[in-house]
Amino acid sequence: MTQDQKQKLEQQLWKIADELRGKMNADEFRDYCLGFIFYKYLSECITDYANSILKDSGESICFTDLNENDEDHQDYLEALQEETLNKLGYFLKPNELFHRIAERGSERGERPREFILEDLTKVLRNIERSTMGTDSEEDFEHLFEDLDLTSTKLGKTEKAKNELIAKILEHLDKIDFAIHDSNSDVLGDAYEYLIGQFASGAGKKAGEFYTPQSVSTVLSRLVTTGKTHIKSVYDPTCGSGSLLLRVARETQVEDFYGQEMNRTTFNLARMNMILHGVHYRNFNLKQDDTLEHPQHLEHRFEAIVANPPFSAKWSSKASFSSDDRFSQYGKLAPASKADFAFVQHMIYQLADNGTMAIVLPHGVLFRGSTEGSIREHLIKELNYLDAVIGLPANIFYGTSIPTCILVFKKCRKNPDDILFIDASNEFEKGKNQNTLTSDNIKKILASYQARQTEKKYSYLAPLSEVAENGYNLNIPRYVDTFEEEELVDLNNVTKQLIDLDRAMVDIDSALATYCKELGIDAPFEVIA
């Protein structure tokens, strides 16, 4: 997509958001916008696929020409339903397609808008029901539950609600998502743009499910370095799924696994997978608390990425001491800070040939007590920590705290040292958020791959030095970024002060003369 095309798309999408802004908060109108984008995608996808089947069968009729009330078309529809359920995982009838509903709700000349809310609700429920008893049922279950078309936030009257929804569908109907073009990702770009905009506008609550694109790029490239193919990637706090999909932009990925606690965000993640062309058989996303109720413990993953909620609370109950994820450490992460609990969980599921990269607050580098013990065990006993990367402050939505990336490997090529990178001072300053530029990202990755000490940027610390520091990983202990201040020439400063005193005497004398001419007293004592 060219820059002009991207800007045009963003303008079109923002018009849609404008219809809802002021009526509800960013979280809520995000659900409507993204839900309808997903409905449009499903409609266009099934139309393309059904038409290809009809064409390959030598039929001259198109999918949109089929009428469920016409007996002659029943065989077509039944055959297409079987094929599309197997291939796409869902089915829509021609009269349920997005364009049909949007067209009915639009104003055309003298023709008034039709009332479409009841039919639209039925269509969204029919998409979910069409999957019942099939392999895709779990992936489509309750997918549209956040699209409440009866909400009073859409309008005080049924007519007002209908007009607002109809306008949104009308705007979306004009956008060509080019789903038939395998080299285009208009839909993915639209989806990520809206998610990013909602995260920046909604503060911490929305930011919890979205990792800024620049940070996602760093994480995904760290875990794919030197790999052209990955069997599986996992994110234990997957949010809207954007981080998992970012890994797929860096290398070929077979299967995607993730878990998300928030139901609405979990629905977004499933939509996001399908919108980006991931087949329903190739993603396995679950909705539950990862630490308390893990859903993928039987799997080991070649790549793991995560941006868990910073210093979240968890139960840290005594029974977890015998949990295989935590038992070998002899300590549990404190109930008030689950950061290391996520690390332990991810390491448990990391394959022997895998790499994991996790974003955490700086406190994990130096906090003591049980966290200090876990940190020491990770380094001294397991020797899994490969690198520590300091990121700039204020690059995450909803928080300005500085963060870091920890990179872990079970089979390290460099088992005698840990690489420290201080990238905290290299960023592009923004109005609300700071950003890592492409050059900033390239420098981080080049430093990680070169694994060398670079003055004021990186340091290759022997394990013995880390041990001498009591396994404290605070980056300034290893990367010295201190800038010496320029020496002050005191003789020159003295001369400048003398010159200023002389100038003041001349100014006072001139003022005294003016005051005398005006016949008023000088506002200071005149020294002869």
Give the model confidence (pLDDT) of 102-147 as tens digits: 999 987 767 788 999 999 999 999 999 999 999 999 999 999 998 9
Is 482 inside a domain boundary?
A: no
Number of domains in the chain: 3
Last residue of a domain, one of 157, 184, 200: 200
Rounded Cα–Cα distance for residues 393 and 386 (Å): 23
Phi and psi at 137, nearest 5°, equal -55, -45
Residues 179 and 259 in one domain: no
Lowest mean pLDDT among 59-73, 106-120, 215-229: 106-120
* The pair of three-digit structure tokens given for residue 413, joined into one six-digit string: 């090529």
Residues 499 and 389: their CA atoms lie apart, in Å, by 51
Q: Is the same domain home to 143 and 213?
A: no
Residue 28: is its pLDDT beyond 90?
no
Q: How high is the pLDDT of residue 210?
A: 67
Indicate the angle between helix axes 158-173 and 3-20, nearest 10 degrees: 180
Helices (H), 130-241: 137-140, 158-173, 186-202, 204-207, 213-224
**Type of residue numbered 77:** L
Question: 377-381, 490-494, 496-500 — which one is most confidently predicted on average?
Answer: 377-381
328 and 421 part of one domain: yes
Does residue 213 lie within any of the structural domains? yes
Backbone angles phi, psi at 428, to 5 degrees: -105, 120
Q: What angle do CA 167, 172, 175 make, to 5 degrees?
A: 140
Higher pLDDT: 70 or 129? It is 129
With beta carbons less than 8 A apart as the criterion, state whether 274 and 35 touch.
no
What is the helix (H) or strand (E) element at residue 388, kind and residue range? strand 385-390
Does 510 have pLDDT greater than 90?
A: no
CB atoms within 10 A of CB 103: 15
Q: Are residues 274 and 238 in the same domain?
A: yes
Identify the H or E element spanning 350.
strand 350-361
* CB-based contact 459:417 (threshold 8 Å): no
Q: What is the CATH number of the domain that holds 214?
A: 3.40.50.150
Question: What's the CA gap between 495 and 168, in Å, rounded?
Answer: 72
Of 178, 200, 222, the one marking the end of a domain is: 200
Other Cβ atoms less than 10 A from the Cβ of 385: the count is 21
Structure tokens at 321: 């001491």
Q: Are residues 375 and 285 in the same domain?
A: yes
| pLDDT computed for residue 481 by the predictor | 73
Look at residue 10 in the predicted model and tell me its pLDDT. 74
Flag whether 225 is in a domain.
yes
Q: Does one domain contain both 514 and 437? A: no
pLDDT band at 181 (very low <50, low <70, confident <90, very high): low
* Final residue before a domain boundary, out of 175, 200, 225: 200
My answer on whether 495 and 459 are in the same domain is: no
Q: Are residues 193 and 212 in the same domain?
A: no
Q: Is the pLDDT reported for residue 204 higher than 60?
A: no
By three-state DSSP, how is residue 147 classified? Answer: coil
**Burial class of residue 498 in the structure, from the number of CB atoms within 10 Å of its CB (0-12 exposed, 13-18 middle, 19+ buried):** exposed
| Confidence band for 526, pLDDT divided at 50, 70 and 90 | low
Q: Between 154 and 316, whose confidence is greater?
A: 316
Residues 349, 416: one domain?
Answer: yes
Residue 429 has pLDDT above 90, yes or no: no
Burial bucket for residue 56 (CB in 10 Å: 0-12, 13-18, 19+)? exposed
Q: Quote the CA–CA distance of 160 and 244 in Å, as a whole number.
A: 39
pLDDT at 207 over 50: no
* pLDDT above 70: residue 468: yes
Identify whether 483 is part of a domain: no
Give residue-wise pLDDT tens across range 285-341.
999 999 999 999 999 999 999 999 999 999 999 999 999 999 999 999 999 999 999
Mean pLDDT over 270-275 rounds to: 90
Is residue 218, in this structure, part of any structural domain at all? yes
**Residue 481 falls inside a structural domain:** no
Give the pLDDT confidence score for residue 205 in this predicted structure. 45
Q: Is the predicted pLDDT of residue 49 greater than 60, yes or no?
A: yes
178 vs 380, higher pLDDT: 380
Residues 388 and 302 in one domain: yes
- Asked if 455 and 513 sit in the same domain, the reply is no
Given a cut of 60, is residue 201 above it in pLDDT?
no
- Displacement of CA 81 from its chain's centroid (Å): 35
Please tell me the distance from the alpha carbon of residue 91 to that of residue 131, in angstroms, as a whole number. 8
**CA atoms in the 13 A half-sphere facing the CB of 454:** 16
Give the pLDDT score at 196: 64
Tell me the pLDDT of the chain averaged across its residues.
89
On the 0-12 / 13-18 / 19+ scale of CB atoms within 10 A, 293 is exposed
Q: Which three-class secondary structure state does DSSP give residue 154? A: helix
Q: Domain of 504? A: 488-528
- Alpha-carbon gap, residue 274 to 293, rounded angstroms: 25
Of all residues in the chain, the percent with pLDDT exceeding 90 is 64
pTM of the model: 0.85
Q: Do 319 and 187 fall within a single domain?
A: no
In a domain, 118, yes or no: yes
